Chain A
């Protein structure tokens, strides 16, 4: 589209068939002229527009992306645009955290009667994008700002008092056949104990990092029979969300909750839940200072205080180290899809290479898929062999969920899951 001398922005527009597409048709019938830079991709409903389409448009070099559909309340499919709106609210926050230039992604409600509005929106958006210039800053490197690294202490291993009681409880559970397997912590990492005499392998100390609920999805472990799983209060929140998604049945498992004194991870400084709430048996006594409100704004606030271009440079530097080992995915209890989106290859949804583009695409997908589901156990960051501050992405969506919808993953078993629900009053501020 561009001549050698003049920059012509490339604008991709995803529009719904029943309102905006007809609105664009109306602009045509009324001969309302606008710049020829927009390329329209017609979809039945804004509900069909998933975040990956926006990323793909940017990946193929779009300088601007326009997303438009029916006004709330008028959706041809009644609720598609409500669901879309909720996703857009969250996705924008994630993109903002990454330093993506939000001025390049425009959302609008344009009805079939609003031919003039189509003309206006396209004209203004094209001109604005022309002034901004080609979107070269996407995934660009640059001077990396100073964002404080997560504070991890690697203390000397110190057993907690409840360790002995834990071993006795588990020994009894196995000996009496109440459970067939205990998923717990061992000397070097998680252990799976099936014999009562092996209960002595279980430990409970300040290095019990793992979120053991991640093992509940494993077929080989399920095949062993009813399981007891040991959870810290932070891990227990995962059970709340897993239950909402039909992945965990409380009746089918024995939950051993451990009151926790902290395992030296960044999350521990901001812990609000020292004692498990729903366990079948709770052991130990929580010690330590009064909890602060979570999650801590420190690292996140420092990041968001930077201008977007610096944020982008930060993330490019961080994500360039990603090797796509998927440790972040494998340790996460909420990542239980047997065929992950990255494994889908007809068509390829996420660029599989550990290139800059591929790494951004993966981490965006991971963080966004966890919106409203991540309980902040921090295992993803700890597991990353490249030291990427992954938890920052999850924190950004956690804050977005709280701020916009009053939703906190893992807090309320009765709360409707964040994605897949909507209210009539979800924020509209950024939608034209």
Chain B
């Protein structure tokens, strides 16, 4: 037998002016299951809440309905009040007779009749409420950061400084990401490495950061608070505990002419190498596809030379397991590969620009290395073909971006800014040089950004043509660039010494496999999906996994850093206690009646339902079943609708409740 207390609020005049609250209280008292019914001027105020608490005790109520404003306003308020009086908060419901009744109708009789029916609905719901308990999920108070670029570094430092251990996994031999290879950054023209390397060192030396470099995430198991990560530490063939980083090995290596990944092919490196001098860890790695010893048991000079006996040609990949409670994915980006044949016909490359054909047609990251003080040319802008200093350089924007026909439809956001930056760096190095920029629009929306671009044009004399380039050919030692100036309304042909293509930003290689391992979503371009584009930009649909940086969408360094700190703060919320509490209004499956068709498993947007086995207490197999993970379910109820046997139900919105509500309208 139900003992529901119904408390009808006047809300001052807001309800009482239109709804006859006395009549409501009187008629509601006659509804089945209602133990007491009264009205009061302001239920949400202290005296009002006191009335509720007192009635709960004096009338031994087992359910409460407050007929007042929207549950979005005060459901939590009244649930707290009920809890204070010893009533389970999930036995409290609200009937919205203000926003959805008194405020939208003027006829007193109609509004009163409707209010009574609205309350009847709520009473039926309350009669079928169950006393739910919050769900507690134990938490391993450590975090994993995948990716050691600026976003990963920021996130790792924030979390570690907050007092939690961080495991960082970076697949390159050193952390630093793309930012470590940039020369100067906009809009300040700060030296990129100068601002980054102190952070890199901090990560390398932080007592609470465990860095797995030259490693990748192999497998992810578990769920929020309880992830088990298997990490593959790739064989370096160098024992980092013995190595001192003296550099003898890479000096003596005879195989020096391997294109450097860090320099994007603009420079060379030996087979045993350190990617750049400020690498963290500052330990070399042997490229097993190039090393003579590893391929055909020749050479071995580095081993002979190494005083620390740190070279180990017998090294093997190692699998390590780490337990963490939260994950931040910060895997960064790569540039659209202009020359290579594209996997999809729509990404057709831009062969007409001659990238890969003409040595002096390069992309923006390659340009960064050429102007970088620690780059392969020592910061002197020597063009790749003959080492000459170019007197005229053409910069082409939007190569691969904003192109529905044969590229990617989105804007890569940073290219307008770095192209302007490139023209300035060029001018600062080659005073008599002339920069030409072919652009579609200038997107310079950040703090100081537009001023920066104007500086490139007005102070550093960059010439900007609003138009696209149709073709680049080599004629008489010059790169002939044929484009258009749509503002002047005429074609433009420039004989350039070098061309720099602002290639589109894409997520890093392997993102789709990683996303699958983590059970998070990617969009059609591979960028990781956030939970809600406005309100939850660093969370994913998989509780406990967060994203930051360019793996989410094209962005610049300030945004990547801000997002990384945002993700770190979300991680800190998660790791704040030994247990996570979650709202219990989630799905539950009757495993006895479940037909194990797994429609719910494939429907759940949060992958919160797994295939499982129902076993006896002794472990004997009974049947297959679907099982909800209470740590992940967000309570949408989509599983309930697809379940053919009606084994899935949603606590707080059960079939029993909803049917009782509908049937009260008969």
Direct contact of A and B (CB under 8 A): yes
List the interface of chain A (C-beta within 8 A of B).
Answer: 1, 10, 12, 21-22, 24-29, 31-34, 36, 39-45, 47-51, 53, 56-57, 60-62, 76-80, 83-84, 87, 119, 245-247, 336-341, 344, 346-349, 369, 416-417, 419-421
The chain B residue sitting closest to A34, CB to CB, is B104
CB pair B636–A48 under 8 Å, yes or no, is yes
CB pair A56–B605 under 8 Å, yes or no, is no
- With A76-B532, A79-B605 already in contact, the answer to whether A43 and B658 are too (CB < 8 A) is yes
Whether a CB of chain A sits under 8 angstroms from the CB of B98 is: yes
Whether a CB of chain A sits under 8 angstroms from the CB of B87 is: no
CB pair A60–B663 under 8 Å, yes or no, is yes
Q: Give which listed residue, B595, B598, B638, contacts A338 with CB less than 8 A.
A: B595
Provide the residues of chain A in CB contact with B312, threshold 8 Å: none
CB pair A44–B666 under 8 Å, yes or no, is no
**Contact mask B72-109 → A, CB, 8 Å, 1/0?**
10000000000000000000000010111101111100
Provide the residues of chain B in CB contact with A33, threshold 8 Å: 104-106
Complex CA gap A41/B655 in Å reads: 12
Known: A44-B636, A421-B602. 6 other contacts (CB 8 A): A29-B99, A29-B103, A80-B638, A247-B597, A344-B646, A419-B642
- Interface-centre pick from B611, B646, B650, B653 (highest chain A CB count, 10 A): B646
CB pair B603–A1 under 8 Å, yes or no, is no
The chain A residue sitting closest to B71, CB to CB, is A42
Q: Give which listed residue, B101, B532, B640, contacts A50 with CB less than 8 A.
A: B640
CB pair B634–A77 under 8 Å, yes or no, is yes
Q: Give which listed residue, A53, A77, A119, A419, contacts B605 with CB less than 8 A.
A: A77
- With A45-B637, A45-B638, A47-B637 already in contact, the answer to whether A341 and B645 are too (CB < 8 A) is yes
- With A44-B637, A87-B641 already in contact, the answer to whether A12 and B597 are too (CB < 8 A) is no
Chain B 129-183 residues near chain A, CB threshold 8 A? none
CB pair B653–A43 under 8 Å, yes or no, is yes
- With A28-B99, A77-B605 already in contact, the answer to whether A36 and B105 are too (CB < 8 A) is yes
Complex CA gap A340/B644 in Å reads: 8
In the assembled complex, 17 residue pairs joining A and B whose CB atoms fall closer than 8 Å, in A order, are A24-B99, A27-B104, A28-B98, A29-B99, A31-B104, A36-B105, A39-B117, A50-B642, A51-B641, A336-B597, A337-B595, A337-B644, A338-B593, A338-B645, A344-B645, A347-B656, A347-B660
Provide the residues of chain B in CB contact with A50, threshold 8 Å: 640-642
Complex CA gap A41/B658 in Å reads: 8
Whether a CB of chain A sits under 8 angstroms from the CB of B199 is: no
Complex CA gap A370/B480 in Å reads: 65
- With A39-B121, A48-B653, A53-B662 already in contact, the answer to whether A25 and B70 are too (CB < 8 A) is yes
Provide the residues of chain B in CB contact with A49, threshold 8 Å: 641
Chain B 586-602 residues near chain A, CB threshold 8 A? 592-593, 595-600, 602
Complex CA gap A247/B105 in Å reads: 54
**Contact mask B623-641 → A, CB, 8 Å, 1/0?**
0100000000011111011
Whether a CB of chain A sits under 8 angstroms from the CB of B260 is: no
CB pair A45–B636 under 8 Å, yes or no, is yes
Provide the residues of chain B in CB contact with A40, threshold 8 Å: 96, 100, 118
The chain B residue sitting closest to A28, CB to CB, is B99
Provide the residues of chain A in CB contact with B658, threshold 8 Å: 41, 43, 53
Chain B 35-92 residues near chain A, CB threshold 8 A? 70-72
CB pair A28–B638 under 8 Å, yes or no, is no
CB pair A79–B653 under 8 Å, yes or no, is no
Whether a CB of chain A sits under 8 angstroms from the CB of B365 is: no
- With A36-B107, A78-B605, A339-B593 already in contact, the answer to whether A57 and B662 are too (CB < 8 A) is yes
CB pair A48–B72 under 8 Å, yes or no, is no
Complex CA gap A102/B536 in Å reads: 38
Complex CA gap A83/B208 in Å reads: 44
Complex CA gap A61/B664 in Å reads: 11
Whether a CB of chain A sits under 8 angstroms from the CB of B541 is: yes
Complex CA gap A291/B662 in Å reads: 48
Interface residues contributed by chain B, number (CB under 8 Å): 62
Provide the residues of chain B in CB contact with A56, threshold 8 Å: 659, 662-663
Q: Give which listed residue, B107, B597, B650, contacts A44 with CB less than 8 A.
A: B650
Provide the residues of chain A in CB contact with B647, threshold 8 Å: 339
CB pair A420–B666 under 8 Å, yes or no, is no
Provide the residues of chain A in CB contact with B650, threshold 8 Å: 44, 48
Provide the residues of chain A in CB contact with B585, threshold 8 Å: 44
CB pair A346–B656 under 8 Å, yes or no, is yes
List the interface of chain B (C-beta within 8 A of A).
Answer: 70-72, 96, 98-101, 103-107, 110-111, 113-114, 117-118, 121, 531-532, 541, 585, 592-593, 595-600, 602-603, 605-606, 611, 624, 634-638, 640-642, 644-647, 650, 653, 655-656, 658-663, 665-666
Provide the residues of chain A in CB contact with B104, threshold 8 Å: 27-28, 31-34, 36, 119
Distance of A105 from chain B, by nearest CB (Å):
14
- With A79-B605, A420-B599 already in contact, the answer to whether A48 and B637 are too (CB < 8 A) is yes
CB pair B103–A31 under 8 Å, yes or no, is yes
Distance of A213 from chain B, by nearest CB (Å):
15
Complex CA gap A45/B111 in Å reads: 27
Complex CA gap A34/B555 in Å reads: 46
The chain A residue sitting closest to B656, CB to CB, is A347
Q: Give which listed residue, A27, A83, A348, contacts B642 with CB less than 8 A.
A: A83
CB pair B111–A36 under 8 Å, yes or no, is yes
Provide the residues of chain B in CB contact with A44, threshold 8 Å: 585, 635-637, 650, 653
The chain B residue sitting closest to A8, CB to CB, is B110
- With A44-B653, A78-B605, A83-B641 already in contact, the answer to whether A417 and B599 are too (CB < 8 A) is yes
Provide the residues of chain A in CB contact with B532, threshold 8 Å: 76, 78
Provide the residues of chain A in CB contact with B637, threshold 8 Å: 43-45, 47-48, 80
Distance of B76 from chain A, by nearest CB (Å):
14
Provide the residues of chain A in CB contact with B70, threshold 8 Å: 21, 25, 28
Complex CA gap A282/B574 in Å reads: 58
Distance of B380 from chain A, by nearest CB (Å):
50
Complex CA gap A227/B638 in Å reads: 36
Provide the residues of chain B in CB contact with A245, threshold 8 Å: 597-599
Complex CA gap A246/B655 in Å reads: 26
Complex CA gap A84/B599 in Å reads: 14
- With A339-B647, A417-B599 already in contact, the answer to whether A60 and B666 are too (CB < 8 A) is yes
CB pair B653–A341 under 8 Å, yes or no, is no
The chain A residue sitting closest to B657, CB to CB, is A347
Provide the residues of chain A in CB contact with B653, threshold 8 Å: 43-44, 48
Distance of B22 from chain A, by nearest CB (Å):
19
Complex CA gap A34/B103 in Å reads: 10
Q: Give which listed residue, A21, A338, A346, A419, contacts B599 with CB less than 8 A.
A: A419
The chain A residue sitting closest to B634, CB to CB, is A77
Provide the residues of chain B in CB contact with A416, threshold 8 Å: 602
Complex CA gap A143/B656 in Å reads: 38
Distance of A391 from chain B, by nearest CB (Å):
19
- Interface-centre pick from A10, A79, A420, A421 (highest chain B CB count, 10 A): A420
Provide the residues of chain A in CB contact with B106, threshold 8 Å: 33
Complex CA gap A21/B69 in Å reads: 12
- With A33-B105, A245-B599, A347-B659 already in contact, the answer to whether A47 and B100 are too (CB < 8 A) is no
Q: Give which listed residue, A1, A47, A51, A338, contacts B113 with CB less than 8 A.
A: A1
CB pair B663–A47 under 8 Å, yes or no, is no
Rank and list the top 4 A-B pairs by shortest CB-CB distance, nearest first. Answer: A28-B99, A48-B637, A47-B638, A50-B641
Complex CA gap A420/B650 in Å reads: 17
Distance of B621 from chain A, by nearest CB (Å):
13
The chain A residue sitting closest to B521, CB to CB, is A78
Complex CA gap A419/B653 in Å reads: 22
Complex CA gap A338/B635 in Å reads: 26
Q: Give which listed residue, A24, A25, A347, A421, contacts B655 with CB less than 8 A.
A: A347
- With A41-B121, A43-B653 already in contact, the answer to whether A28 and B103 are too (CB < 8 A) is yes
Complex CA gap A25/B75 in Å reads: 14
CB pair A246–B99 under 8 Å, yes or no, is no
The chain B residue sitting closest to A62, CB to CB, is B665
CB pair B624–A246 under 8 Å, yes or no, is yes
CB pair B638–A24 under 8 Å, yes or no, is no
Provide the residues of chain A in CB contact with B606, threshold 8 Å: 77
Provide the residues of chain B in CB contact with A340, threshold 8 Å: 645
Provide the residues of chain B in CB contact with A24, threshold 8 Å: 99-100
